Every structure is written in structure tokens, then in C-alpha cells.
Amino acid sequence: MKVGVASEVKSDEYRVALTPVGARELAEHEHEVLVQKGAGEGSAISDSAYEAQGARVVPSAEDVWGEADLVLKVKEPQPEEVPLVRSGVTLFTYLHLAPAPELTRGLRDSGATCVAYETVEDRAGRLPLLAPMSEIAGKIATQAGAFMLEKPLGGRGILLGGVPGVAPANVMIIGGGAVGMNAAFIAIGMEADVFVYDTSIDRLRELDIAFGGRASTVFSSTLAIEERLPTADLVIGAVLLHGARAPHVIKRSQLGLMQRHAVLVDVAIDQGGCFETSAPTTHQDPTFEVDGVIHYCVTNMPGAVPISSTYALTNATLPYVLALADHGVAEAARRDPGLKLGINVAQGRVTHPAVAEDVGMDYESPDEVLGIDSPDGGRAGADGAGATAPRATRGAR
């Protein structure tokens, strides 16, 4: 199979979907790897490093999309990339389609099979391809929030950890999954007063043990959130439903409860945002103000640390990339039901129920569209996979 790696064109996105390690593994499996010229530069990976591991460097994105059977990316196709997506290609990347009906329509109409990193599950129902970026995004969320609290950046002018004789900042984290836990670890390390909210008592017990009593865990409810907002200096939103739009845990009417120039960091912005007043921002222009509250809503936080995040991403995705290349999507999904959950769009249909509901389009089971469970072992349709109802989770990104 020809596996293509396209350069990222999203603003301030420096990651690449495959490292030379991945190129070598694919070559060992007798697949041909095409890498767009300069694709790895943002992650300090040269074209020659790919070539040394058997990859072929091609001049343009058109070459990658025109030749490859399987295209690997990091972020969702941007408007200028959608026309390159064609029938017969499998795209494997973060898609975040629930808040993006126009992109969903474009991918659906292309006829391609689109597999989303963020809805692939493991045997325990966790999100293995989202986890490494959730860990990084959680850590960045606290770092960025601490920075934005500085007065020259528009914040309240409070030091997260305080100093002897002066109280530290109060950090409120809504969602105790991978994002929330890692955000809390950094906030604890910076000596802030930390409060983590979640609706799962079992998860709160796990976090209480993990934090060793250095942070408070709180059962999340509307009232509990409202009671904390007046004293919160930094609020990190870290909630997610698998494949679906994020729920709004703070409404605009509640911003009036907050201190002037407190900071909200919305890590769920890729899935529409978990604050009602959130809107996507970039690393170049990361914040805006609503009702006196600073909002940080960068849609690709891990893109700011590509040397860390590119390698972490490939570590997680490589086994799935090899499965897709070795077996094709249908057979790989038949062998791994968790991979099947990643199929969001296939052969002109929307094949993930949560995405279909949120974008207002008809849902069709990938099993039926792509014949995964057919007697010939999953080859009745084009390459593909199936889906079941999404599971709720907390704080993954």
C-alpha cells in the first residue's frame, strides 16, 4: 500500500503525522511511504531523515493525495485541502466533525473513508489516540493559563503559586479525564490551590489517590460550579463526549459571577467548546475577552510543542497505521472493533452516530456501508469499518 504523509497547513501547526521511526516500520512491512517535502521541518525532522528510512519525498500535497491509498495527517483538512480528498483514499487524522457540518459535508461528498483518531477506542473504552495529546494539552492549559493571568497579557495579575505571605491562585478544572488530571498535576506543581470537578465518583476517588491529597476533588453540578466561580482565578474546561459536541458547563450568564480578568482555558474547543462564550483562536492571537473574562481557546494546543507531541502521537498511532496498511480499513476494523469506532465518514455517508446527530445528517452503519461483517471477510464494500454508540468520557482531547 502507498502511505502518504501530508504537510499541515492549519495556522501555527508544526506537528507531522509520522516520524522516521514510523516510516521505517511501514517499509519493513513492505509499504511505500510518500512524505511531502518539508512536512517534518516544524518538528525538527528533515527530508533526509525520512529518506534514510526508505520514504520517498514528493514535492507537493497534490502528489501525496494523488498517489497515496492511505493519507496520514494530524489536523482536520482545511478548506483548501478538502478538494484534494478523493474517492478511494483513506484519511487517518484528527477530524472533530461534530461542530463542523461544512467539513463533514465536504468529506462525505468526496467519497473517501475518513477515520478519526479521536473516536478510536481500546478494549477498555478509552481513547488511545487522543490520550497523548490530552496529556500534552492538559499541561499546556495550565502553563498558558498561568501566563495569561499576568497583567500585561490581560489577566488579573496573580501568580499561580503565590509567595510566602500571599495566597496562591485558585485553579478550577472541570473534567477529570486525561486533560484534567494533567492540568491538575502542573497546577499542583506550581503550588496553586486546585479543585477538580467530575461527575464520576469512581474517577474522583482515583484522582484523590493520584493527587495524594494535594488537590480537592468535587462532584460536578451546576450549583457546585457556580459556588466556585467567584473565587476562581483560572478555570480549565476539560470535558468531552466521544465524537459529539462538548456540553456547555459554563454559560454566559455565569460569567458575571467571576472576578474581572479571570481566565478561562477551553481545551474542548475542537469539539465546539465547553463554555458557551468560547470561539476558536490561534497561537498567534490566543485570547479574547467576554464580559470582563479572558478566554483562551486555541484549537491546536499541542501544536506549540511539536517535538514532544509529534513523537507522542506516532507512538500511539503507529500500530493502527500498520493495521490499516497491512489489511485495509474493512479487515483491520473487523479485527479490531475499537478501530471500527473511528470511522466517521465512508462512501458518501456519515458513519458515526454522534457526528451525524450533531451535524444534522443521516447516519448509516459502517458495517452496512462497507460490508465489514460480510462472508468474504470484510471486502464486500470498499475499505471501511463500523460503529456503535459513543461512550461518554471526561477530559480527553
CA distances from 340 to 211, 330, 337, 391 (A): 35, 8, 5, 14
Average confidence score pLDDT of the chain = 93
Looking at residues 213-232, what average pLDDT do you find?
97
Look up residue 81 and give its three cell numbers: 485541502
pLDDT of residue 382: 33
Percent of the chain with pLDDT strictly greater than 90:
92
For residue 110, give the amino acid letter: S
H, E, C per residue of 110-160: HCCEEEEHHHCCCCCCCCCCCHHHHHHHHHHHHHHHHHHCCHHHCCCCCCC
pLDDT tens-digit readout, 288-335: 999 999 999 999 999 999 999 999 999 999 999 999 999 999 999 999
Cell numbers describing residue 4: 502518504
Nearest residue to 174 (alpha-carbon basis) of 288, 251, 253: 251
Q: Is 367 a catalytic residue?
A: no
Q: Specify the range with the lowest mean pLDDT, choosing from 99-108, 168-177, 362-371, 377-386.
A: 377-386
Establish whether domains 2-128+307-389 and 137-304 are of one fold.
yes
The SS3 assignment for 303 reads helix
Which of 3.40.50.720, 3.10.50.40, 3.10.290.10, 1.10.3720.10 is the CATH number of 2-128+307-389? Answer: 3.40.50.720
pLDDT tens digits, 260-288: 999 999 999 999 999 999 999 999 999 99
pLDDT at 372: 85
- Model pTM score: 0.89
Tallying the residues shown for the chain, one arrives at: 397
- Average pLDDT of 140-165? 97
Catalytic residue among 193, 198, 266, 270: 270
pLDDT digits (tens, 9 = 90+) for 179-203: 999 999 999 999 999 999 999 999 9
What pLDDT, on a 0 to 100 scale, did the predictor assign at position 273? Answer: 96
Mark whether 270 is an active-site residue: yes
For the chain, the domains span: 2-128+307-389, 137-304
**Cα 300 to Cα 12: distance, rounded to the nearest angstrom:** 8
What's the pLDDT at 172? 98
Cα–Cα nearest to 215, from 248, 190, 179 = 190
pLDDT the model gives residue 207: 98
Cell numbers given for 294: 479572558
Cell numbers at residue 396, please? Answer: 480527553
The per-residue pLDDT for 374 is 53
For position 317, what pLDDT does the model report?
98
Among residues 86, 88, 186, 196, the alpha carbon closest in space to that of 138 is found at 186
Express each pLDDT in 37-59 by its tens digit: 999 999 999 999 999 999 999 99
Look at residue 241 in the predicted model and tell me its pLDDT.
82
Q: Which CATH code for domain 137-304?
A: 3.40.50.720
Q: Tell me phi and psi for residue 355, to 5 degrees.
A: -65, -50
**Mean pLDDT confidence for 66-89:** 97
State residue 242's pLDDT score.
82
> For strand 70-72 and strand 2-5, is the pairing parallel, antiparallel, or unpaired?
parallel
Per-residue model confidence (pLDDT) at position 4: 98
* pLDDT at position 173 over 90: yes
87-94 mean pLDDT: 97
Q: Which of 31, 96, 295, 352 is catalytic?
A: 96
> Residue 361 has what pLDDT?
96
| pLDDT per position as a tens digit, 344-396 | 999 999 999 999 999 999 999 999 999 887 544 443 333 333 333 333 334 43
The per-residue pLDDT for 276 is: 98
Identify the burial level of 163 via C-beta atoms within 10 angstroms of its C-beta, where 0-12 means exposed, 13-18 middle and 19 or more buried: exposed
